[in-house]
C-alpha cells in the first residue's frame, strides 16, 4: 500500500462533474401542462374502469351481451374523460405540481445550448 491517506483529497480537483440538464417536457405553458395532466388522468381512469368492469360477470338481462359490452365501454370512456377533465381524483394536480417547475413561464422561449 502507498502512503496515501484516505483524507488526502488533492486528486479530486481533476475530476469533472457531468453537467445536469433539466429535462424539458414539451409543454410550452402551464396551461398545456394542465391539459396534458388532465388527459393522462382520464386515460388512467379509463384503465381503472376497464379493470373494474372485467371483475364483474356478464349478464343477459339487457339482451345481447356483445352489444351491451360495446356501449358500456363507450360509456366508461366518457366517464373517464369527465373525471380527467374535472381532476377530482388528484392525479393531474400531482403531475402538475411535480412538473410545473420545469415548464418555462408563458411568453419565454428556451434558448438552445450552443456548446
* 49 and 76 Cβ atoms separated by less than 8 Å: yes
pLDDT tens, 71-115? Answer: 889 999 999 999 999 988 899 999 999 988 877 765 555 555 444
In a domain, 30, yes or no: yes
| C-alpha cell read off for 60 | 343477459
Domain that holds residue 88: 25-102
The whole-angstrom separation of Cα 69 and Cα 75 is 10
pLDDT score recorded for residue 114:
43
SS3 of residue 62 by DSSP: coil
**Counted domains in the chain:** 1
Please state, in angstroms and rounded to a whole number, the distance separating the CA atoms of residues 103 and 37.
Answer: 13
Quick: pLDDT tens for 41-82. Answer: 999 999 999 999 888 877 777 777 788 888 889 999 999 999
Tell me if 61 is assigned to some domain. yes
Please report whether residue 13 resides in a domain. no
The model carries a pTM of 0.61
In a domain, 17, yes or no: no
Does residue 39 surpass a pLDDT of 90?
yes
For the segment 10-25, the average pLDDT, to the nearest whole number, is: 63
Q: For cell 419565454, what's the residue?
A: 108
d(CA 33, CA 66): 38
Asked whether residue 38 is assigned to any structural domain, the reply reads yes
**According to the model, what pLDDT value does residue 19 have?**
61
Amino acid at each position: 500500500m502507498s502512503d496515501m491517506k484516505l483524507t488526502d483529497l488533492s486528486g479530486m480537483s481533476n475530476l469533472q462533474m457531468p453537467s445536469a440538464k433539466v429535462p424539458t417536457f414539451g409543454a410550452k405553458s402551464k396551461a398545456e401542462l394542465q391539459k396534458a395532466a388532465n388527459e393522462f388522468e382520464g386515460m388512467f381512469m379509463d384503465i381503472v374502469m376497464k379493470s373494474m368492469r372485467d371483475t364483474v360477470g356478464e349478464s343477459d338481462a339487457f339482451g345481447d351481451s356483445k352489444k351491451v359490452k360495446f356501449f358500456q365501454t363507450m360509456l366508461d370512456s366518457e366517464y373517464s374523460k369527465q373525471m380527467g377533465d374535472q381532476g377530482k381524483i388528484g392525479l393531474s394536480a400531482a403531475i402538475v405540481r411535480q412538473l410545473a417547475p420545469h415548464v418555462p413561464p408563458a411568453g419565454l422561449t428556451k434558448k438552445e445550448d450552443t456548446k
